[in-house]
Amino acid sequence: MAQNPDGFQAGVDGARYVPVLNTLLAPSGTESELRDIVTRFKADEGALGRRWNVEYSPGRRARFREYYRGWQAALGTLDFDRLSQQGRIDYVLMNHTLRNALSLLDREERMWTESAPVLPFGSDIFALVDARRRMEKLEPQQAALTLVAIGKKVEDVSRAIVAGLQQADTSRTRSPAPRPEGEVAPLKVSKVVAHRSAELVNALKADLKSWYDFYAGYDPLFTWWARDPYRRADSLMTAYYRTIRERILGFRQGQPDPIIGDPIGRDAIIADLRDELIAYDPEDLVKIAEIEFAWSEAEMKKASRELGFGDNWKAALDKVKERYVAPGEQPELIRRLAAEAVEFIEARDLVTVPPLAKDIWRIEMMSPERQRVSPFFLGGEVIQVSYPTDGMTHEEKLMSMRGNSPHLSHATVHHELIPGHHLQGFMNSRYQAHRRAAFGTPFWTEGWALYWEMLLWDQGFNATPEDRVGALFWRMHRSARIIFSLGFHLGTMTPQQAIDYLVDRVGHERANAEAEVRRSFLGTYPPLYQLAYMMGGLQFRSLHQELVGSGRMTNKAFHDAILRGGAMPVEMVRAMLIEAPLTRDYQAQWLYRGPKGNVR
């Protein structure tokens, strides 16, 4: 069979993509009785979300609380003891999903309460949008009065914000003077609340525009009454958004945005961990990360000595980073590294790789703007590549090439493609597919891809000291993610300290460290996401030792069973593979790194 230079077969018959159907026949007990129930839950949840789609709206929270509590009551009517192991797994996961959803609604309400003084016009916009969604008849003149009131509230709160800033400036030098009659009361806002509120101003502005556009032009009387009040309110909200960003947060045109973030605190971290079926506390996870970091650093020194740099592993890392490919050649490098990984795992019969999965992945290049928050690869069926464009500064180009050099990419390409995220996604959509949307978790998704970095290290995939330096850089990086992300949410580390930590302890390029921290705290990823890489990987590694290390399963059987079991917290993967007894109210209990308070 002819092969392309990248190692994949060319000119193949499409029939080779058709699986052996006998291997897909589901044995009795392998399908969950709750599959259709879970599918219905997610479909209905999505429908509700499209109907009540105004973020932070009290009406939305109320409707979803009713929904989740209703599902909790309905779930309680099922006869748990009559379910198969797969059914019990889905039951436990549904229970945790519902509890977590209600907890997040409570957290959202607390966050709104903190932001409400900065957004006094929010309730008016919620009311307008909710009335339209209920298809109530609109009174154009009354709507115009509401828009006037919104504009007035925006003006007043903007003046109060400015007065609060001026008062703070004055109080640094002298005692504050009495407030003249008729002046607004100064409003002081923390940067965290201001940052959250600025994003909400933008969201509310978009909600108001959507409401206005629904009527404008279609109802002539509405347009006659509401056009000018709407335009004024919209303009005032735009100015207010700038006031918050520039006066409180320090945003400047043409400069990188400050990294603010929104720390959730220890109690919320523990609640999220329990809902992910992680039995450890944050302090345990930091200790585990420190242990893993120390191991990586010791191994890094060994590789550094092989390269002639003694224990100065940062010098060895710098040397490895300098071996980057020329501009325009990164896609060819990715093709070669992807083929190398597939050949390696297939030669050792580590996991089943369907022919179609090998042949359908694609490459896209990331824009310079996207690279500011994603300085490395992003993966799946399409691997998105960070590498310099001609519009970047000289320093940006060099940092991007150094941070994505071949030896650093040696461990990240298979993380993103096969056997990592691409193979995951391929199998997720074909086996136990109901679990992906309902129970997917970064501890499974990112943990699996990171676990393969560990396993391939053990299997000798990183044969040269240069490749070992590249792989260890990423292992250290994942340990550091736990330390800086938990430090931020616990209030013991600022974003700037996190950047410095990545530069000083891990050896990141500063621009890449800034992008990594920005990505972590921007709000697009949940608080536990960054620690899930290493923790999920260690869970899979512990499970591998328990089942493959003991001889109870082969590597291939173990890995295929995980992929065919669907996405879910790793403790439930373990329950599936060892047939662990489950109860209706099952809670996290697997201590995969030793007892709490004394982890190893």
Whether residue 228 sits in one domain with residue 86: no
**Percent of the chain's residues with pLDDT above 90:** 80
- In degrees, rounded to 5, the angle at the alpha carbon of residue 473 between the alpha carbons of residues 505 and 494 is 40
DSSP 113: H
What are the tens digits of pLDDT across the range 470-520?
999 999 999 999 999 999 999 999 999 999 999 999 988 888 899 889 989
Q: Which of 186, 214, 248 is the last residue of a domain?
A: 248
pLDDT tens-digit series, residues 259-303: 999 999 999 999 999 999 999 999 999 999 999 999 999 999 999
pLDDT in tens, 14-43: 667 777 767 766 665 678 999 999 999 999
Average pLDDT, the chain: 92
Asked whether residue 328 falls in the same domain as residue 469, the answer is yes
Shared domain check, 290 and 200: no
Which of these ranges, 212-221, 327-336, 536-545, has the smallest mean pLDDT?
A: 327-336
Is the domain of 241 the same as that of 343?
A: no
Q: Do residue 374 and residue 494 come from a single domain?
A: yes
Residues 6+ positions from 160 with CB-CB distance below 8 Å:
184, 185, 186, 187
User: What ranges make up the beta strands (E) of 197-241?
Assistant: none
Residue 136 lies in a domain: yes
Distance between CA 517 and CA 356 in Å, rounded? 36
CB 208 within 8 A of CB 125: yes
Residues 317 and 456 in one domain: yes
Model pLDDT for residues 415-454, shown as the tens digit of each residue = 999 999 999 999 999 999 999 999 999 999 999 999 999 9
pTM of the complete model = 0.92
Range of the domain at 109: 35-117
* Residue in the block written with tokens 């923790």: 535
**4 pLDDT above the threshold of 70:** no
DSSP 58-110: HHHHHHHHHHHHHHHHHHTTS-GGGS-HHHHHHHHHHHHHHHHHHHHHHHHHH
Q: Last residue of some domain: 248, 283, 299?
A: 248
Verify that 185 and 322 share a domain, yes or no: no
Residue 463 is assigned to a structural domain of this protein: yes
3-state secondary structure of 371: helix
Boundary (domain end) residue, out of 248, 280, 300: 248
pLDDT at 69: 96
**CA dihedral defined by 564, 566, 567, 570, rounded to 10 degrees?**
-70
Q: Are residues 56 and 188 in the same domain?
A: no
| Conformation bin of residue 534: beta by default, left when phi > 0, alpha when psi is -120 to 50 | alpha
For residue 472, being part of any structural domain is answered with yes
Confidence of residue 372 (pLDDT cuts 50, 70, 90): low
Measure Cα distances from 576 to 88, 374, 423, 528, 571 in Å: 10, 35, 20, 24, 9
Same domain, 80 and 123: no
Residues 351 and 239 in one domain: no
Q: Is residue 191 part of a domain?
A: yes
Instruction: Judge if 419 and 491 occupy the same domain.
Output: yes
What gap in Å lies between CA 530 and CA 521, rounded to an integer? 10
Within-domain flag for 285: yes
**CA angle, residues 14, 15, 18, in degrees to nearest 5:** 115
For residue 261, tell me if it sits in a domain. no
Q: How many CA atoms lie within 13 A of 387 on its CB side?
A: 21
For residue 528, tell me if it sits in a domain.
Answer: yes
487, two tokens? 């430090």
- Is residue 413 situated within a structural domain? yes
> Stretch 373-398: mean pLDDT, rounded?
80
Whether residues 291 and 395 share a domain: the answer is yes
Number of domains in the chain: 3
- What is the pLDDT at residue 436? 95
